[in-house]
Structure 1
Amino acid sequence: MSKGQTVLITGAGRGIGMAIAEKLAQEGYDLILNYRKDQGKSAANLQRFMTTETRVKVTLAKADIAETRDISEMVKKLRQQGIERIDHLVLNAAAAPFKSFMDMTRNDWKLLFNTNLIGNTACVQEVVPMMTQGGTICAISSLGSQRVLHKYPLGIAKSALENLVSYLEVELYDRNIRVNGICAGMVQTDMTPFLEGLWPELFQRHNSGPRRWLVEPEEVANITAFLVSDQSSAIRGSTIIADLGLMLEA
């Protein structure tokens, strides 16, 4: 068990983020769970999690990861609450338009990079000074970094995020902070019906194939727990592909 170690998870209120929170609570980590707004499904999920989770300390931390000022304010409030140390950081929050590059506006570009690259980097800048030797950073990526998906500009931001993993690993090595990523395949979340509408042929092809191809959020959470733990001490600056072998077959 990891008694006394604290993990900050961004975008923790649903899907992969919520699954990671549940898994790390099982492992005994205290949690700081980031969310964007007080209304909606994420906030409701987190309130429910707070009331039912009795094994570890859980702190909610509101901030829009697309706004660097929000991130600074979030960390400032955590310090005011007496949290002086964060051992691990999981960069899970993401936001992007679903449209073709020919239709991207300036605001679309701002949304894409403010959350997925600038915001994630700002989280690292704010949290690393609070980290201890042996801390970890885990960035959650997606298959759009590896293959072209229709109306999925998030893919190029995820490519950049995976590259950032390598750069941060080298830059933070002297602090003994390990940095890795997970490139998750098609994950079964509340977004799946929307994506099936966006990519009907992709879903049809793989649904009729022999291979299980939808990754469960808990499977991504299990890999995250491994990368956060000392068991993965030899893995540094890597992005692990967790796609159920989806890319093995054309």
Structure 2
Amino acid sequence: MSGELRILGVAHGLLLGLVLASPMIGPDLLPWGVEALFIIAAFQLRLADRRWESRAGLRGWASHIRMAPGRLVPWAGTAVVAVIAGPQQAALAGSILAAILMGELLIYPVGAYLLGRLPRRGLAALILLLLIGCSLAGQGQPARLAMAFALGMSGCVFWMRGPDGEARSTMLTASAAGVALLCALILPATTAFAMPAGVLAATLTLAHLSVIRRHPDHWRLRGAGGFRWRLTGS
């Protein structure tokens, strides 16, 4: 599924390209890139699936499963890249496949139903719990990637509930992304928590920028009578 947010969609494509090229760029960055990919992909998936609320019960689950194979192809390619990256990242391939299957077959169908019934404060609390869960799980583990998937879904529902495209919201999420990523660089002990928080905040920022409201001022002549010439004598 392709999302409707152009800027976020471009960022998603660039991130996927960087992850696929990571064996040549920096194999050590692959786990972080995959985790960010899980967050953004889940955000985009929930955003694009506008018909979920109209599909009740098992029909919704079955319809989602029928469309899943097409979405799994990029993840299979990502798993192959993890194998190519070397023996240190080989285990990541299994984690990717296990986490995406869990996300597509279980987390998304259940989450799409439950998240829509949570208030915005409940979503914020759930996002915080998922961030804590990510920080407790080991890097590249299936549980951490599955929680990153749930984090992206929750972030999307949170974004859809709030004011989109407003300058204040955009500045808040951009500031949060900057602070989180700065903490990850300066305080390595906080990286496990700060990285997914920063990626989610950056995703929300790009979503806001994709729909930012513009108020163009149409050019017009001053006055209703056209040009007036003032003649002055000496």
TM-score, normalized by length of structure 1? Answer: 0.32
Whose strand proportion is higher, 1 or 2? 1
Q: Point out the structure with the larger helix share.
A: 2
Structure number, greater radius of gyration: 2
**Larger relative contact order (C-alpha < 8 A, sep ≥ 6)?**
2
